[in-house]
Amino acid sequence: MNSIEADVCSRKHGPFRSAQTWIAGHPGKSGTLAGWYQQGCGALGQLISFPLVVHRLSAVDAGIWFSFQGLLGAINLADFGLTFVLTRQVAYSLRLRENTAMADSDFIVTQPGWKGVAEVYSLSKKLFHALGIVAALALAVIYLVVSNFGKLAQDASSRTLAAWCLLGCGTIFSLQAKSGQAVVEGVAKVYLTRFLIGTCQLLTAAGVIACLLAGGGMVAMAASVAAVSVIQWLAMGAIAARQGSLSQLKGVRPSPGLLRKLVRVAVPMGVLNLSAFLTSSIQVPLLGSILGPLIVPPFYLAQKIGQALNIAVTQLIGPQTPLFTHELADGNQTAAVRRMKRTLLWATISVVAANLFFLFASPPLVNLWVGPGRDIDARTLILMSFDYFLLGATVAWAQFVFAAGRNPFVYSTAISAVLNVMLIFLLCPHLGLAGIPLATLGSGLVTNYWYVPLRGLRLMRELRPRQ
């Protein structure tokens, strides 16, 4: 290649190479931007598909479809905390140094560097294959319960069974993608997983929209969701295999006892995930069973708007936690505390802004988006906004406690979950929709809304260098 050709080639690929260099040098910011891209894809899909589901499906089918989305969240509990534990362990193993192990933590000492990552990845793939079988059994049990009890059972049919099976298959494939996701996010390349997941969300919405416009029902919609899940699983595995030297370390076997140690750490996290499900994701299915499917769409819509805004805030936190763990593994506690303080400040400001927007802007947005009469009452909206604010602020503190290899929230979250379900059954028949956020708010104030920040402050004090 002569000098002229080299100059042309350099100019041609210059912007792309500059972008790659910036992304590599700013993994936290890149992860946040990619997270907002993911949120944008999900929001765009919901923006277009929700009105179509409401207007093109019957009121009963729309209620069942949205209830299924909430119920399928239970299948993701089949990983029983492994995804987060594996991500955190990959981040720790990659940067592990001698004499940097933290006392009183759940980190597992593996081989350092990419050999340790290969150990964890090899074991994780086997674990998620087994968990796929558990998820399939859970699908069968959940459908049997739903189709025989509660008001949703009145509308069960062969169509609902076929849609449930297809949606369940898609969820199982999404579960299989988590082993690759743990590796990519553990090496602090959150931007790759967020970009892939966001693109797949956009494809999923496009498939659902195409089915609705073509006159298809729940079964066709569910089939398109399952197809995109397969694509995501294959793509995530391919990306994970290309990280570092993993492709040259396929023969690395897990260290003796690694499975037992991972399970020991994951079980408390799984209990916490189950409790979190009973605090938030269970709301829509319980609402459908207690008050009927016709009342589900307005609450489901408000919940999705509020959750989308608050998840957008967590995109500031997620890309920072593996970097925080890297600093702890390196023994650089000063940098870790600085990162924790900076991220918490921005997260708190953002969560206040997000929930003020949810409170004042969501009613006109719903009227413009779906049409008049589709929004929830003001009392319910105020309670949801306040509860989401406290939840968002609490989650920000919890993420750093988890990233430090701790999980002190099992009992408090379990108590919160039990209280939440009990209060929903007590309050909903009398207060209607307002009983849902009031139950969650009450259970949170008794437990995690004060306990989690307290543990976060203790961690911050522990990491400060002693004079």
Number of domains in the chain: 1
- What pLDDT digit, counting tens, does each position of 326-370 carry? 898 888 889 999 999 999 999 999 999 999 999 999 888 888 877
Q: Which residue has the higher pLDDT, 365 or 77?
A: 365
In a domain, 10, yes or no: no
User: Is residue 11 packed enough to be buried (19+ CB in 10 Å), middle (13-18) or exposed (0-12)?
Assistant: exposed
In a domain, 136, yes or no: yes
Which residue range is the domain that position 240 belongs to?
27-463
79-83, 91-95, 118-122, 401-405: which has the minimum mean pLDDT? Answer: 79-83
- What pLDDT digit, counting tens, does each position of 119-162 carry? 888 888 888 888 888 888 887 887 777 666 555 555 566 777 88
- Alpha-helical (H) ranges within 372-434 are 378-403, 410-431
Q: Which string of b and e fits 100-121 if b means at least 16 CB within 10 Å?
A: bbbeeebbbebebbbebbbbbb
In a domain, 441, yes or no: yes
7-21, 81-95, 369-383, 416-430: which has the minimum mean pLDDT? Answer: 7-21
In a domain, 271, yes or no: yes
Please give the pLDDT value at position 455.
95
Please give the pLDDT value at position 71.
66
Please give the pLDDT value at position 356.
95
Q: Which residue has the higher pLDDT, 193 or 20?
A: 193
In a domain, 382, yes or no: yes
**Position 400 pLDDT exceeds 90:** yes
- What pLDDT digit, counting tens, does each position of 10-21 carry? 444 556 677 778
- What pLDDT digit, counting tens, does each position of 39-56 carry? 888 888 878 888 888 778
Q: At what angle do helices 27-56 and 320-330 cross, to 10 degrees?
A: 150
Angle at 67 between CA 230 and CA 81, to 5 degrees: 55
In a domain, 120, yes or no: yes
How many angstroms from the chain centroid is the CA of residue 394? Answer: 16
**Position 375 pLDDT exceeds 60:** yes
**Position 98 pLDDT exceeds 60:** no
Nearest Cα residue to 288 out of 70, 98, 124, 36: 70
Tokens 């946040």, residue located: 32
The one-letter amino acid code at 121 reads: Y
Count the residues in the chain.
Answer: 467
**Position 165 pLDDT exceeds 70:** yes
pLDDT winner (highest mean) among 208-222, 228-242, 372-386: 228-242
**Position 101 pLDDT exceeds 70:** no
In a domain, 7, yes or no: no
- What pLDDT digit, counting tens, does each position of 23-40 carry? 777 788 888 888 889 888
What mean pLDDT do residues 61-65 have? 74
Please give the pLDDT value at position 49.
83
Residue-averaged pLDDT of the chain: 83
- What pLDDT digit, counting tens, does each position of 290-325 carry? 777 777 778 888 888 898 888 888 888 988 998 999
User: Is residue 156 packed enough to be buried (19+ CB in 10 Å), middle (13-18) or exposed (0-12)?
Assistant: middle
Query: For a pLDDT cut of 70, what percent of the chain falls above it?
Result: 89
In a domain, 234, yes or no: yes
Please give the pLDDT value at position 26.
78
Please give the pLDDT value at position 357.
94
